[in-house]
Structure 1
Amino acid sequence: MVWPWRRKSRRRMARVVLEGPISGSTRQRVLKALKEVEEREFPALLLRIDSPGGTVGDSQEIHAALMRLRETGCRVVASFGNISASGGVYIGVAAEKIVSNPGTITGSIGVILRGNDLSRLFERIGIRFDTVKSGLFKDILSPDRPLSDAERELLQQLIDSSYSQFVGVVSEGRGLSADTVRTFADGRVFSGEQALDLGLVDELGDEEHARRLAARLADLDEDNAKLVTLGKSKRRLSNLLPGSRLLKPLLERLNLELMGSGQVLWLYRP
């Protein structure tokens, strides 16, 4: 017996939006939506990405969930919006096909780790820290002192390991050799048009173009297959306040700065 809701899903495709910096809350929302895509047996997923990237672990978990979804037979197409950089690329390469606007900012394949050396400021205002630690590197990236050479070398090894993981996933997802990926995986950004030439995306077009491609891959009617958006972000009361549209980008920028302190990130930071 075929349940009616399953027959209905066969005439529809799912849409999930990944927007803004990738963090724990993003991961929870997107993973919940992807689980629903699998449970409702949608034949195709349109993944809209408009993100500068973010935290490494959260990006990896979303990528892994997309790969598992594809194993069920669901056809996944990614649509790059205004920006899909760094962690956004990492997640995007889990899709079977990627469609990008010609002017989309993409790329920024690489890893960044930032700390703050405030030791001179603390000295001027008379603040001194006393630290008791269990190991030589326990207070690495502490803001009250500069990095030692040994600490810098240790962190570079960490960055190199994360970078190799990033290159490997892009290589596998896009069918490129690791050496080829490394020729442009130095943190630089590209337009969607340039990304097409490099093999990072498959086609140029808008979200509607990506929807039609997903419909063809899933053998759905391009004109009649409807999108069902899952995992929508909850509306906040602050969004109703005057000036909220101006405040939102400022809060996102502040969130990026706070998120980037002492964390390994796959993030485009202009």
Structure 2
Amino acid sequence: MFARRHPYLFFLLTSFSIFTVFAIGVMGMAMWMSRSTDDYQGEAVGVIEIDGAIASARETIENIRHFREDDDIKAIVIRINSPGGAVGPSQEIYREIRKTTEKKKVVVSMGAVAASGGYYIACAADGIVANPGTITGSIGVIMAYTNFKQLLDKIGMVPVVIKSGPYKDTGSPTRQMRDDEQELLQSIVSGIHQQFITAIAEGRKMDRVLVEASADGRVFTGEDAKKRGLVDRLGNFEDALEWAGMMGGIDGDVVPVYPREKKLTLLRYLLSTSITRLISKVVYPDIEAQYRYLPETF
């Protein structure tokens, strides 16, 4: 009777009820999935995942620090599935892992790819486990940008630049790069490349000459990387977890513990859409003219 007299109100109430039930269900699922180190008892191994391009180090560093200070976490596994990324964040994560190895054992588990910046991070650990077909290596630095000068010339557009010094607009896409500018940028790339080699030599305790032999930017399979001394063992995530547990002195089964933030992926997925991701790409596009630990193929 009520539905017949007030069809629109009935529709609104029904829709609101369904939305409320859905929202409560999502929140409950998120809370259930967000269990972290507070929900277990005994000794465990902390697991931190690094997925995708490396653009920020803050969350990863916070998770590493949290596990380092938790006495019930006996060792840490860093699961890397990344083609690399920005130089600064890669170096920050590397440094945090190095500090952590002074107190706890850290093992890296490589997924499908752990190249360039992904490998930079990995070589800070006490041990590296890779799949035979993992794509890794790509020890190098790249800077890339697109030049639009010829296109602008064709359509009659003339850029006007006012600058405080001769190098302020180095890398501008609207003009050809001068020889002295190219030499300047090349020197910076070469310097960062040497930092990469030094980090590997120190982290892996390898002879610098051996590192340089593999540091020409090429990628390796996990099997090839092991032959070159770039990884320690071949195996999957479970093998890395077991090894970390042994290094941490854990007897019996190893309990993996994930950071709370990483368990909210379902909620983030439900609240995100392809449209918002597309808008993010358009409004905040990747800046190409920057130094990156990233293979050109990715």
Tell me which of 71, 77, 86 is aligned to 1:46: 77
2:61 aligns with one of 15, 31, 54: 31
Residues 86-111 of structure 1 deviation map (CA, whole Å, 9 limit, x = unaligned): 00010000110000000000000000
The 3-state SS of whatever aligns with 1:147 is: coil
Cα distance in 2 for partners of 1:238, 1:37 equals 23
Return closer, same or farther for 1:179/1:144 CA change in 2, 3 Å cut-off.
same
> AA paired with 1:229?
Y
How many angstroms apart in 2 are the aligned matches of 1:233 and 1:69? 23
SS in 1 for 2:244: helix
Match of 1:58 in 2: 89
Within the alignment, does 1:269 sit opposite 2:296 as a pair? yes
Shift of 1:237: 7.0
Aligned residues: 256
CA RMSD between the two structures: 2.6
Range with greater deviation from structure 2 (146-155 or 177-186): 177-186
Q: C-alpha distance in 1, partners of 2:59/2:121?
A: 15
TM-score, normalised to structure 1, is 0.87
- 1:9, 1:43 within 8 Å by CA — same for their partners in 2? no
Name the amino acid aligned to 2:254.
Answer: A
Q: TM-score, normalised by structure 2?
A: 0.79
- CA–CA separation in structure 1 for the residues paired with 2:92 and 2:116: 15
**What is the match of residue 116 of structure 2?**
86
| Residue 187 of structure 1, CA deviation | 0.7
Distance 1:19 1:233 in 2: 14
Aligned pairs for 1:92-103 (under 5 A) are: 92-103=122-133
Partner of 1:226: 255
Distance (whole Å) between structure 2 residues aligned to residue 45 and residue 119 of structure 1 = 50
Per the alignment, in what secondary structure is the counterpart of residue 78 of structure 2? strand
How far apart are residue 242 of structure 1 and its match? 11
C-alpha spacing 1:160/1:233, structure 2 compared with 1 (3 Å): farther
**In the alignment, is the contact (CA less than 8 A) between 1:79 and 1:206 conserved in 2?**
yes
- Structure 1 residues 185 and 55: alpha-carbon distance in aligned structure 2, compared to 1, 3 A threshold: same
SS at match of 2:258: strand
Where does the alignment leave 5 or more consecutive residues of structure 2 unmatched? 1-36
Asked whether 1:168 is paired with 2:198, we answer: yes
Q: In structure 2, how many angstroms separate the alpha carbons of the residues matched to 1:102 and 1:48? A: 16
Mind listing any 5+ residue stretches in structure 1 that lack a counterpart?
none
Q: Is the aligned partner of 1:131 residue 2:157?
A: no
Structure 1 stretches of 4+ with a deviation exceeding 6 A read: none
Taking a change above 3 Å as real, the CA distance of residues 242 and 114 of structure 1, as seen in their structure-2 partners, is closer
Aligned residue for 2:148? 118
Q: Tell me, what secondary structure is at the counterpart of 1:145?
A: coil
Read off the aligned partner of 2:289 and give its amino acid letter: G
